[in-house]
Every structure is written in C-alpha cells, then in structure tokens.
Structure 1
Amino acid sequence: MFGSHAAAALAFVDSYGAVAVFVVFALEGALVGKVLPARTLFVAAIVAVGVEAVAVLPVFAAAVVGATVGQSAVFVAVRRFGVDPTSLAVVPVGEGRLDGAGRWFDRWGLPAVAASNAVPGTRGWLAVPTANASSVSAPRFAAASLVGSAAYVGALLAVGIAVALGFGGALGLLGAEMAAL
C-alpha cells in the first residue's frame, strides 16, 4: 500500500516524532543530501499524527524552523567562514544553478529568498549567493527564509491533510465493508 519511502518515513516519525521532521528539514535547508525525502516525511507525519490542529502544529513548526535553521547555517558558513557548499559531494547544487540563483537575488532581493523557498526544487539555493554578494544581515535572511518555508510547508500541510482524510475515509469505508460481512 505504501511505497518504501513512505513506510520508512512513517516508522521514523513514529519513533522520533517532530524531532525527525526538524532534523530532515534542517538537513534539506542546509543543502545536504536527503536522508529521507522531506516532503514524504512531512506528509507521513501528518498521516501519523492526524489532522487536529494540536497534533499538526508541532510538525508544521518543526519543518519550518528546521528548514530555516539549515538555510541560516549555510548562510553563516558562507558569510563568516568562506565555506563553498558546492565543493561538497553531499550538496546537490552545482555552480551553474547558483549563478542563476544569484541573478534572481540581484533582481528581486530578499523577496526572491522567500519566493524560492516556497517552490520545490529551488529551496535554499539563494543562501549562498545572498551571503556572498550582498549586505543582507543573517536575521533578515532568516526572516525571508522563514516566510518562504512557511508557505512551502503550508502547501505540504494541505496535501498531508488531504492524504490523511483520504486514508481515514478509505479506512472507514473498509471498516464498514468488513462490518457488513
């Protein structure tokens, strides 16, 4: 019924809860290769905890804060220590993509950071060119990162709730069918 990633994500969330979501999103934010696909883990976490606001809020917060912490760590590492994340094998972003991200930032500024964080596939790329070629402070970068990550995770939350309700409805129908037998 579940794919292997979804099953592993459910087991991970069941064992470690929102901490697992925080760690995976922090690694994704830091441009480090994915331990588990963050989107799959997040949706699995929503399915695991249910759709009540009290249960969903810690998972949502863990994902947003984790992504922001990871991206801020990259920003600070580049700005303060001159780290070049593209030289690391675990970072799946090439120099060419960073050049394109730099042009986005040159044209749009901090709103480009928020917008890129809201779009799958470009999340976190602007941390490096923003740190290298701008006078943006770390707190302002973190705020823009947080806004974009909240939009991204909000969209994932909608998907997670739809999946959770879909599974719940399907399980309810299955239960009614089994009871009728």
Structure 2
Amino acid sequence: MTHLHYLQGYRPEIITQVEALIAQNRLKNVLQQRYPDIHDIRSDKALYYYTIALKNCYLKKSQPLNKVLYDDKITLKKQALGLHSYIAKNHGGKTKTKNEIRISSKLRYVPEPLLRMVVVHELAHLKEKDHNKAFYQLCCHMENDYHQLEFDLRLWLTMLELESNVTT
C-alpha cells in the first residue's frame, strides 16, 4: 500500500498487521488507547528546556546545545523527523562550534513519548554521528522503549496521513 511509506523496511507480517488495522478502521483507536494525551511542548523555548533536561540527565559531559527548535522546513516524507547539526566556524583564527537540534513542526501535536523518542535520537548524535550499533545502544539507554516508540511514531504519522487524505 502506498500510504505505508513510513513503514518501509519492516517485515511483511508487520505490514500485513498494520494493513488489517487500517482496513478495519482501528489504527486510530489502537494508537489513542496507547497514547491518549498530546504533549503541550509547543514553543521553541519549551522544546529547548525539555531537550536540555534530557541531555543533562543522560549526556552531562557532551558538547553544549546552542539551539533547539521546531522547524517548518523539515519534511516528514523524506523520513526525517529531526535534524542535528554540528557547525564549525573559523572567525579570527578561533574556531567556534555550535550544536543545533531541529525537530519537525509536525511533531508539536503528538504524544509526549513519541516526541521524546525523536529528541533522544537527535541527542544521541551528540556522541555518535552515524546510525550504528553504538548509536542505537545509546538511544536505548536514554529511552528503554526506543524501538517501539519509533515504530509507534511511524504508525501515528501513517494515521495522520490517512486522515489528511480523507479530508482532502
């Protein structure tokens, strides 16, 4: 099914289960039972403090974060939920570095555990630049249910896309 592009790479039996939930019109109910509340972290300032609290809990000795914000330009269709940038600028013989995290604005209205998963993912890039075994171990250290939350976020995005197709 074309509307399952967020679930590319998952096993066929999982895709079949999701297709069954969609065909039975149950996907939204299942997700809302699991995640009944949407977070209230709406502003960039609130997102910054939320991210810093997680960073201070798990990555105290990592490089500082200069900026954390919601970004309207991040498109979820490209599979990007957030971006971590490391910027090094040479000015007057001195190198200044900045770490920035940008989260898709579409994630302003998801349940808090799903937002936390994306923030944890981007924070893990402070220590591990690549998506390797050490990276995912760090993600799971910061969020035990990391992989389940990632899958659930993909389901949530699928649900939103299905709803937007019905209303257009």
Query: What TM-score do you get using the length of structure 2 for normalisation?
Result: 0.28
Please say which structure displays the higher CA radius of gyration: 1
Query: What TM-score do you get using the length of structure 1 for normalisation?
Result: 0.27
